[in-house]
Structure 1
Amino acid sequence: MTPADIQARAHAGVPLAAAMGIEVLEAASGRALLRLPPSPLVMRPGGTLSGPAIMGLCDVAIWAAFLSLTGGADDARTQNLAVTFLRPTGTAALLAEARVVRQGRRVVYAEVWLTPEGAEAPSGHCTSTWMVVA
């Protein structure tokens, strides 16, 4: 699947991803790079991206990385998602770099590093376990 294919699939399967404007920039070999542009929908008071928007971005980024491994087979679901917020994101677009760390027969483990566009240091880290349901 191309990044455009995965983005279309994510927007159709998770309409909130489309509403938030999540973009799939890269996706191959169990890795994906996504971008969440700033908009009033995803901002919280104080001039930073909201936690729920960031967690949604992480979940979609892991899904994109997983789909890049399976050729589009969608037989896993989020079992656990943990985000560590390291610093405020500010108002810049947020980049999510996801990678599947381990893909077993029944469990997929992945991580995401979150970095505001143009920043050097990450603003967050996410880990997630997915259960294969097929």
Structure 2
Amino acid sequence: MPLKMDIPALEAFLKAQFPQVAETFRIEAVAEVGLTLRLLTDERHLRPGGTVSGPAMFALADVGVYLAILASVGPEALAVTTNASIDFLRKPRAGADLLAQVRLLKLGRVLAVGEALITSEGDDAPVARASLTYSRPPQ
């Protein structure tokens, strides 16, 4: 299935619909079955001890899967997360951005399922793995 939205279109959508987080993420690559999303980490993403917080990693996974769905189906602002599970595997590298390799597993009429494997920039060992299900609005 050809992509319905490329990186500039996804970035414009994010800025228009979710300006509160648009500057937090950068789309690195987009493909038919997924994308790579970067969390531009700074002080607001850290928890005591200097590591990236769990909520920040969850946001990276959630936004990543959402954008992967949009890339495949076009702008559906009403698609919502209906289920999410995240495993925190190890502490992220201090001071490093996080990267989510997102893959769509199912893209149906009603539900979309995706996963995100999160790593620290410069390190291939995953720091978290998430699985998310989205409900798509009726056509």
TM exceeding 0.5: yes
Q: In 2, distance between residues paired with 1:81 and 1:123?
A: 17
Percent of aligned positions with the same letter in both sequences?
33
Alignment of 1:36-115 (within 5 A): 36-91=39-94, 92-115=96-119
| Alpha-carbon distance in structure 2 between the residues aligned to 1:118 and 1:42 | 19
SS in 2 for 1:90: coil
Partner of 2:124: 120
Indicate the SS of the match to 1:84: strand
TM-score between both structures, scaled by the size of structure 2: 0.88
- Cα drift, residue 74 of structure 1: 4.0
Structure 2 runs not aligned, ≥5 long: none
TM-score, normalized by length of structure 1?
Answer: 0.91
Helix, strand or coil for the counterpart of 1:105? coil
Q: Which ranges of 4 or more aligned residues in structure 1 deviate by more than 4 Å?
A: none
User: SS of the residue aligned with 1:11?
Assistant: helix
Instruction: Please list the CA deviations of residues 78-103 of structure 1 after superposition, one character each: whole Å capped at 9, or x if unmatched.
Output: 10111100001132100011111011
Give the alignment of 1:19-38 within 5 angstroms: 19=23, 21-38=24-41
Taking only aligned residues, the RMSD between alpha carbons, in angstroms, comes to 1.5
Tell me, which stretches of 5 or more residues in structure 1 are unaligned? none
How many residue pairs match? The answer is: 133
How many Å apart are 1:75 and its aligned residue?
Answer: 4.8
